[in-house]
Every structure is written in C-alpha cells, then in structure tokens.
Structure 1
C-alpha cells in the first residue's frame, strides 16, 4: 500500500488576487533591476556618443578599434580607482573583522552569561540601529577633529566599527540565544572557564552567524559614501565611493561618461557578485538567527 501524499496547505490551490499582485510586483521589480544592470554594464563599454544616441544597444565602437576596456582602464588609472579599490578592500575587510570580533563576545555575554540588565542592554543596541548616522555626522566630525583623526583612514575605520556594532550585536544575540546549552554545561562541569567555553565551543557553533554578520557588514561598508565624503580629503586616501564622487564632478566637464559608468561598475559589481555567490548562506543565516 503506497503512502498517502501530504495534503497541500489550506488555500494553496485557491486563486489569490493578493498573491498574484505580489508576484507581479516582485517580477516587475526584478526585471527593472536586471534592465538597469544591463544598461550599466553595456554603457561602461561605450563611447559618450553611443551612450546618448544608442542607450540600449550593445557597444560597438571601442570593440571596433580593438580597445574594448578603454573606459575601465581610464577609470582605474586616470581617475584613481586602482588605489581606491585597494584602500577600500583593506579598510572594509579590517572594519568588518573588527566589528564581528567585538560584537561576538558582547552578544555572548548578553545572552549566555546572565549579565544583570542584559535585556535593557540588548534593547539599547537595538535602539542604536534606529538612529540615522546622518544625524551624528557633525558631532562625529567635531570629535574626530579634536583627536586629529579627520582625513585619516584609521579615524574612518573607528567610525565604521562604531556605527556597525549595534546591528552586529543585535544580529548575533539571536544566534547565541539559539545555541543549545548542554555543551556549555558540559564544559562547565569539566572545569572550562567562560572564556574558554566561548572560544572553543560557542564560537564554532555560531560560525554561520559570524559569517553572515561579516558578509553583511562588508557589503554595507563597501557601499558607504557619506562618511567617506565628509572625513576624507586627500586623493591618496580615497575609498571607491569617495573616488567615484570626485570623478563624477570631473566627468561632467570632460564628457567622460563612459569612464564614469565604468567606475560605477567597478564599485557595484564586486559586491553584486559576492551577494549572488553567498546569497543562500546569508538568507539561511538570517533565518536561523530569527527563527529561534
């Protein structure tokens, strides 16, 4: 006797106008973003004339003269995107690792060590997520100027870490709260200290959450623009977003729109590729942390 097929959930076979509208909106939004991505990539290989006269056609002229990557070469070498790319990579990597390294023990202490007032402290971090960083730019600039840390990559690193901590601590509290306590109790019986338990047992168990937090911080910091504009003035210290902002002003006068769009592609594509490759891990990590 064959096993019975499970019944579909209630209402799954019924026509739902709301579901149809939702799917339509999602597909239209996805198609629009794919179209914009196509336009960006195609335009980054075009001459300025092609960009304005043939905006939706495939690029031809630079390929015809045997120099298809001319715009990317111009942005990388002439507009300073090469050094900015290296600066941004190092800055974002260090800031993301430091943020997770500081947030992980804080989240562990708030959720597993029975710290007095842990719930209000967790709520305090959650409140920090809701404060727009644009509102604290001026006080930050004044404070960093007093410490002589304006136009300094180390100063910008400190700001990145400080502003990323509320979200990261709040995210990791969900992961540490979801971990089983039996292994922690076994470690305590064996005489392991809280620090050793955290480093040897709890951190490996929370690896999925740590990787998710690291990726999300890297994507957010890579695309950060306002703080880089405010705190960096030396061209040699520019991040990619800051270099793009400066190049935009110059490109309007030089009609270097192909190079400008190539610069936009240099900024956008690395994180887009990273997200596409790791989207499943990010979604799984967020769902695990929220579901438990």
Structure 2
C-alpha cells in the first residue's frame, strides 16, 4: 500500500537548518548575509568596516592635532590638547591665502558640476531610451572613458589649454582666463562617469512614463524635463554631489593648467601651505589647513551620503 500524498502545506514548509533563513552559502563553508538586496561576504564586510573606521579615526585625529601646539604634536601625538590653539587656523588662513582661493573653488566647482549634469543627463536619457544598434558601442566607449586615468591625457590637455589661451588672446577676445579652460576640462573629464551613472538610472525607470506622455502630446524635450528628470532626481543629485566632491579635492589639473596662485583652488593652496609650514615647522597650522579643506566635504558627505547611495542604486533593479 502506497503512502498518501503529502499535503501542499506540508510540502512547502522550509527545512529547518538552524541558521538564519536569509543566510546563503557561497563557496566552501562560507556564509554571507544580505545587506538590502545585495549579498556581501562576511570577510568583505569586515574589511570595509575596518577601512571606514580607520578613515574616521584619522579624520578625528587630524582635527584634534590641528588644535595642538608644535611641541604637543610630537610629545603627545595621540593625546588631547592641553589648551586649544585656535591661532593655528588663523595662521593657516592667513599664510595660505585661503580667502581668495575659497571663492575660486566654490565658483569653479559649482559651475563645472552644474554644466556636467546639464549635458550628461540628456545624453544619458538618449542612451538609455534609444534602441539603435550603435548605442551599445557608445555605452562601451563611455565605460572605457570612465576607467581612463586623467594622467594619461595630461600632456594633450596642457597643449590644448595653451592653444586655447593663445587663440583667445591673439585672435578672438584679446584676453582669456585659464579658469574658464579648467571648467571646460572638468566638464569633459567628468561627463563619462556622469553619463554612465545616469544611463543606468534612466533605464530603471518604467517605460510607461514616456509612452503616456507621448499619448498626451508631450514633445520628447518636455517629456524629459517635466517627467523623467523629476522621477530620476535622486540619481541626478547623487551625480552632482559626487562630481562636486571630486572637483573640490582635485589638485593635479589645477597645478598644471593654472599658473597664478591667486587663481588656483583650495587643494593647490594646501600644497603650497605644506611647503611653507614645513619650512617654518608650523605643524599645527598645517593640520589646521587640512581641516579647513577636507572637513566641509566630510560634513557634506555625512549629510547626503545615504541619499547618494540611494541615487546610485536607483537604476540597479526595476
């Protein structure tokens, strides 16, 4: 006599293994735990937390050291200051000329990041929604440009900057500001990453949105600016903030393309401050200069960091 068939409810009951139901096996005797919708191995999680903790401790240590005198920095490098030396910040601000270059940095970085989004978002939308054959080739080319380090094209950029300056001064306008050239180069070097990021975001949006807009008589431009851009706004904000952070901390292009110290940005001024403070042995002023340059960006990232992650993963899954 055969046994009666198992009831559907009994067949669907999961086998109890003694482990968390969401734990999954990866490799030989390696278990991973999910973070959101992504499963990351335990070893990588531990390594990431160690790296993050190290960087946070270094940022705190730099802030504490900036309030010490030179003797305290070497006597008690990991201790708290006996009395905060706020004069270090005054010295760093005065010697480095941060006042003028701060305005340069804000203007250059804001204009560059805004132009990058204004050009990259429409291009990413076209690449995401077009079904033509050559689109895949452009996507591949964009991904390759993201991996291309700027150091490999530094010499061509310097030659182009020199030719543009000469043409503008001698033929076109009679004058030229190399900071304008720096803005154009920032935009050009940041576009591949911006297009690559926003293309994935636009692909993750429902295709019914532009179709419904077309049925209502909206033009492609109006569909993009009035419907698709507001929906993809988290990814657009993430791209803007990431470009802003990158341009704020960039120093190589500034040193190569701009000769006048008064027209350079904060990272270049910090490098000059390093030479000055090292020569004068004013280490407290040097650490204060580092705090002035990097702490605003750390605070900005802590403020919008979660939104950046949400925007970067908005097109990962539908």
TM-score w.r.t. the length of structure 1 is 0.89
1:8 offset after TM fit, Å?
A: 1.8
> What is aligned with 1:202?
228
| Superposition map of 1:11-22 within 5 A | 11=24, 21-22=43-44
Counterpart selection for 2:50 from 2, 9, 28: 28
Are 2:92 and 1:92 equivalent residues in the alignment? Answer: no
Which of the pair has more CA radius of gyration? 2
Superposition pairs of residues 1-292 of structure 1, within 5 angstroms:
8-11=21-24, 21-61=43-83, 63=84, 68-148=85-165, 152-292=178-318
Asked if the contact 1:99–1:161 (Cα under 8 Å) also holds between the matched residues in 2, the reply is: yes
- Higher mean alpha-carbon deviation, 108-117 vs 173-182, is at 108-117
CA displacement at 1:25 relative to structure 2: 2.9
Give 1:270 deviation, angstroms: 0.9
Cα distance in 2 for partners of 1:130, 1:83 equals 34
In structure 1, C-alpha distance between the alignment counterparts of 2:277 and 2:288, rounded to whole Å: 12
TM-score normalised over the length of structure 2: 0.82
Return 26-35 or 165-174, whichever deviates more: 26-35
Asked which structure has the greater RCO (Cα within 8 Å, sep 6+), the reply is 1
Q: Using a 3 Å threshold, how does the CA distance of structure 1 residues 22 and 118 change in structure 2: closer, same or farther?
A: closer
Higher fraction of helix: 1
The CA deviation at 1:138 is: 0.6
Return the alpha-carbon distance in structure 1 between the equivalents of residues 130 and 274 of structure 2.
51
Contact residue 175 and residue 206 of structure 1 kept, 8 A: yes
Q: Deviations over 1:225-253 (max 9, x none)?
A: 11111112212112010001111111111
Q: Deviations over 1:101-121 (max 9, x none)?
A: 100110111122445511111
Aligned residues: 282
CA distance in 2, matches of 1:16, 1:94: 48
Instruction: Give the CA deviation at 1:10.
Output: 4.2
Structure 1 gap ranges (5+): none
